[in-house]
Amino acid sequence: VQLQASGGGLVQTGDSLRLSCATSGFHLDYYDIGWFRQAPGKEREGVSFIMKSDGATYYAESVKGRFAIGRDNANRTVYLQMNSLKPEDTAVYFCAADARNYGIAWYLRRGMEYSGKGTLVTVSS
């Protein structure tokens, strides 16, 4: 199982970025997918999830209304569209996958079964 996030960069407040998560080694449609982020000196935060069963989505309160998660199972890719970026969105973002049906509460507390290397997003004020 491999996941690789890309698309990060340096942007200004109010800009947009689209992160991609390329996956391989597993059937994407059998897995719940999540985006996490970790800022320097802070704990890991679950940003958004999309569930395999019904495509239901979850967003952290801090990003609700600004971020959108999507998945393209045919192309083995998951996306995170980030709009109206703020300096507090600065972090390393990484994608993760889990096939165990543990649910979002578990994923927020314990993370997901597989995760990949992240991509740095820096939002300047």
Give CA separation, 109 vs 6, 55, 103, 106, 112, in Å.
Answer: 24, 21, 10, 5, 9
What six digits make up the tokens of 107?
Answer: 């994923």
What six digits make up the tokens of 36?
Answer: 């996490």
pLDDT at 73: 86
The angle at the Cα of 51, spanning 33 to 37, to the nearest 5 degrees, equals: 35
Closest by Cα among 97, 120, 106 to 37: 120
Q: Mean pLDDT in runs of 10 for the chain (125 residues)?
A: 96 98 93 96 97 93 98 93 98 97 95 96 97
pLDDT at 53: 86
Q: What is the DSSP letter of 60?
A: -
Give the C-alpha separation, 60 to 47, whole Å: 5
Contact 39, 91 (CB under 8 A): yes
pLDDT at 64: 98
- Helix or strand or coil: residue 96? strand
